[in-house]
Structure formats: structure tokens, C-alpha cells
């Protein structure tokens, strides 16, 4: 991982207010990194960062994917598999079933497969963003899947 990271930001509807507050609290730190968001989360994050950044003139690097239920979670999962996401901040809602529950599960699973630092709540997000590693180069130790890849299948 480079000094500056690519950070994915995602929140379910009941957790969006929480995420926006967190983004407002951490705006100066976040603006140093590339951000990738699912569609609706991205709109809110962009509004919040533009408001906070105001005169600071920092360059906002934010990509918006499709909305989660319309494929955004799957797009993020694919980017993780391609090694294009360094950190996942995903405030998912533990109290409400989602129409795309399987996509949510798949995203969290693939983030684990690829050893992506993942925050699923605000405290963990606080710990991640305040880690000294957030602005240092870092080589995550990847699990060796070669045995699985080269297994005998017949």
C-alpha cells in the first residue's frame, strides 16, 4: 500500500448520518486519500467534504459507483479482488434486512479474503483513521492461496 490510500466509504441508509458525521470530523485526513463510494453514500460524502473543505482548496478525489442495491457493492468487491482498494469503511445496518443482503455479505467476505482493513462501525473507523499506518507505506501480509488454486479437482 502506498503512503496515500484508496479508501472505500459505504453506509446503509440508517447509518448514513453516522458516516457523514464521521467524514465531517475527519475531513482533513480523508482529503489526502482517494475515496471510492457507492452511489448514494458518495453523494452525501461529496456534499459533506465540499462543505468542510470550503476555502481550504484541497483537491477532492472521489469516485462514485452505482448505488449498493443496484450493483455498487459488487463493483466494490471486484475492485478489492483487483487490488484497487486499500481500506474499507462500511457502516452496515445490523437491524434491517437489505434487498441486496447477498451482495453485502459478498463484499464483507471478499474484504476478508484480501486482508483489507475493514471498519464496520464508527469506533473501528476512528482507530483506522488515527493509525500511523494511514499515512505510511504498508505491505499487508497476504494469505497464500496457492494450495487452493493448484488443488487437484479430479
Ligand X SMILES: O=C(CO)COP(=O)(O)O
Q: Is 120 in the site for ligand X (CB under 6 A)?
A: no
Spot the catalytic one: 55, 73, 101, 103: 73
- Binding to ligand X in span 62-81, by CB under 6 A: 67-69, 72-73
> Is there a catalytic annotation at residue 73?
yes
Shortest spacing between CB 123 and ligand X, in angstroms: 20
CA distance readout (Å), 104 to 46, 87, 110:
22, 16, 10
Binding status of residue 39 toward ligand X by CB under 6 A: yes
Report residue 108 as a C-alpha cell. 464483507
For 10, the enclosing helix (H) or strand (E) is: strand 6-11
Residue (of 17, 18, 63, 55) closest to 36 by Cα position: 63
38 binds ligand X (CB under 6 A): yes
The residue sitting closest to ligand X, measured at its beta carbon, is: 68
Amino acid at each position: 500500500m502506498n503512503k496515500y490510500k484508496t479508501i472505500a466509504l459505504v453506509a446503509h441508509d440508517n447509518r448514513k448520518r453516522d458516516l457523514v458525521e464521521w467524514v465531517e470530523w475527519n475531513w482533513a485526513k480523508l482529503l489526502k486519500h482517494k475515496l471510492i463510494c457507492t452511489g448514494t453514500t458518495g453523494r452525501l460524502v461529496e456534499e459533506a467534504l465540499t462543505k468542510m473543505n470550503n476555502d481550504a482548496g484541497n483537491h477532492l478525489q472521489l469516485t462514485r459507483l452505482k448505488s449498493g442495491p443496484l450493483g455498487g457493492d459488487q463493483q466494490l468487491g471486484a475492485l478489492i479482488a483487483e487490488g484497487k482498494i486499500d481500506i474499507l469503511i462500511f457502516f452496515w445496518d445490523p437491524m434491517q434486512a437489505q434487498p441486496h443482503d447477498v451482495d453485502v455479505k459478498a463484499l464483507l467476505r471478499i474484504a476478508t479474503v484480501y486482508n483489507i482493513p475493514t471498519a464496520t462501525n464508527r469506533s473501528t473507523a476512528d482507530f483506522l483513521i488515527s493509525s500511523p499506518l494511514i499515512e505510511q507505506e504498508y505491505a499487508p501480509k497476504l494469505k497464500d492461496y496457492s494450495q487452493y488454486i493448484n488443488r487437484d479437482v479430479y
